[in-house]
Amino acid sequence: MARRLVDAGHHVVVFDNQPSAIKALVDAGATSADRPADAAANSDIIMTSLPAGEQVGEVMGGQDGILAGVKPGSTLVDLSTIGPEWASRLAKDAASHGVTMLDAPVGGGWKDAEEGNLVIMVGGESAALDGVRTILEVLSSALFHFGGPGTGQAAKLALNMSQAVMTVGAAEAVRLLRALGADLPTFLETLESLDANPWFQRPLRHTIEGAYPAGFRVSLALKDARLATQSGKSAGVSLPGGELARDLLNKALDAGMGEEHFSAIVKLYDADAPKEPKTVS
């Protein structure tokens, strides 16, 4: 994402705890900073992308953090998936320093990030979004505003939870088809002819190919499923499908699948599958 902004001609100041990442961006034309505070002091728009809310909080706070160097009137855009509770809390911290914060988690993979085809789900003030829209459009093919602070996170969690639940459905479809002796590739062709959701087709295709390639990892899918079910609990709503998906992802992590594509949860159903298909009479 940072590389796309550099290539688009923007002045980009970068900080990362991995020197190799900084070097690659500096070689491309970015400027490096020694601390998040220094990066913020030289920027009107500050963007963060980190694995979890705790890490975003660490980068924002403290004497070396963003809020220690940020200029009042700046806009902070967090592209991480951290859940609505963290997003709302951090937006309040930013506001106390005269800074407006948008939660703007992204949908898509590495290729989408490289090509500027991410989907960005935004929560926060409309005026703040209007001020950074041209920047976000460099990164995305679609941009959606869901409401106040935390609502972008809510949309991202709902998206990822529905994808995880659909994958559980695909895993159970594989189990049933195998148990009854039906042909998996033919079933996939049937789904394609019905224009079935690609999220449902993907686990079936991975199973047929016998490989679960790199992508949205089990470990990250589990993190988001936990956030979704925690957010549902806080809101007083029951999410039984999301809880099932969370538990299966946790089981996949325990089985050593953490770095595989999360559709690898299909393999959990293979462990106790019947050796021979049943004959239906």
Report which of 30, 78, 84, 21 is spatially closest to residue 55, judged by C-alpha positions.
78
Two tokens, residue 77? 């855009």
Helices (H), the chain: 2-7, 19-28, 36-41, 53-60, 66-69, 84-95, 110-115, 126-139, 151-179, 184-193, 198-209, 218-235, 240-254
Residue 276 has pLDDT above 60, yes or no: no
Identify whether 92 is a catalytic site residue.
no
Higher-confidence position of 275 and 190:
190
Distances (CA, A) of 256 to 10, 213, 218, 268: 42, 15, 10, 11
User: pLDDT confidence of 199, banded at 50, 70, 90?
Assistant: confident
169 class by beta-carbon count within 10 Å (0-12 exposed, 13-18 middle, 19+ buried):
middle
Q: Is 45 helix (H, G, I), strand (E, B) or coil?
A: strand
Residue 263: per-residue pLDDT? 86
* Side chain identity at residue 55, one-letter code: Q
Report which of 105, 18, 6 is spatially closest to residue 56, judged by C-alpha positions.
105
Treating both helix axes as pointing N-terminal to C-terminal, what angle do 84-95 and 151-179 enclose, rounded to 10 degrees? 160
β-pairing, 100-103 vs 106-107, is unpaired
Residue 62 has pLDDT above 90, yes or no: no
Residue 271 has pLDDT above 80, yes or no: no
β-pairing, 13-14 vs 45-48, is unpaired
Taking only the tens place, the pLDDT of each residue in 157-166 is 999 999 999 9
Residue 280: per-residue pLDDT? 52
CA distance linking residue 58 with residue 62, whole number of Å:
7
Mean pLDDT across 8-31? 94
To which residue do tokens 């189990």 refer?
175
Q: Which residues pair with 77 in a beta bridge?
A: 47, 102
- Of 156, 223, 251, 278, the active-site residue reads 156
Residue 273 has pLDDT above 70, yes or no: no
Residue 174 has pLDDT above 70, yes or no: yes
To which residue do tokens 């929560």 refer?
123
Domains along the sequence of the chain with CATH: 2-148 (3.40.50.720), 154-269 (1.10.1040.10)
The predicted model scores a pTM of 0.89
Higher-confidence position of 198 and 232:
232
